[in-house]
Structure 1
Amino acid sequence: MAFGSNLSALWILNANGWMQYPTGAHFDIDTLRMEMTSFSELVFNPVSQVKFVHTVMAGYVTGAMFIMAISAWYLLRGRERDVALRSFAIGSVFGTLAIIGTLQLGDSSAYEVAQVQPVKLAAMEGEWQTEPAPAPFHVGCLAGTGSRA
């Protein structure tokens, strides 16, 4: 089941990555459609690969949190204390590593977006006006239509 879910996520994110950055295809003016020229370029699209690994890593975070929640429930109920402590510790370590990986891969995904869709990255960051490099760093943003210029 886990393999099938990951395989499904791979193809969904490959399709999404191709829509964001269409590699391995060309536009045929006669038929007015995109036609695939290289299956391997489609599969190994840099945008989709980073998003896929980021998504899988986020799934690991969710799994670790689920294990920790069940372990905490067992600890609160006083059941299987040794097993609950061990599984909570393993879930904590695995979850921490998965969070670090998810953050790193999310940053890598943003770098890919910056390369292929810089305007999209500016919108993601709430940069409504062009500023000289380096752009200011924002920890958070309350973007609204009224603040846009």
Structure 2
Amino acid sequence: MSKGKKIIAFIVVLLVIGGATFAGVYFTSMKGGDTAKVVVIEEITSEVGEVFVNLSDTDAKRYVKLKLSIGFDEKNKELTAEVEKKHAVIRDVVVHYFESCTVENLEAANEEALKSELIKRLNQKLTKGVILNVYITEKIVQ
């Protein structure tokens, strides 16, 4: 075989190997897409109740009055029982958390960060599951 034919044969072999690799990856990824499952979590809420605390602002006496609920997986019966059992602990965490806040922390722009931090603190006290959401149903800052 001449040198030119060897180069062409080598290129053809590379193209066949590359095409086979591409086809294998493509069809394998298509199979994986069919088996993906969507997990839907049904959420239940539990009222924490009304919280009325002084804020930690140093420039003036300010307070906040809140009503809030926590949301968690309805199917987790152990967590439901734990939330009921630890209601006082949950209220304590909420009260101490909001006492450490300032008026700036309670502004609408900071609400997601506020909720995320509260969820993190609450989850540190739970062992049977996690709190997914905090819902503030009433908020008065003065």
TM over 0.5: no
The two structures have a TM-score, normalised by structure 1, of: 0.24
Structure with the higher strand share, 1 or 2: 2
The two structures have a TM-score, normalised by structure 2, of: 0.25
Tell which structure's C-alpha radius of gyration is larger: 2
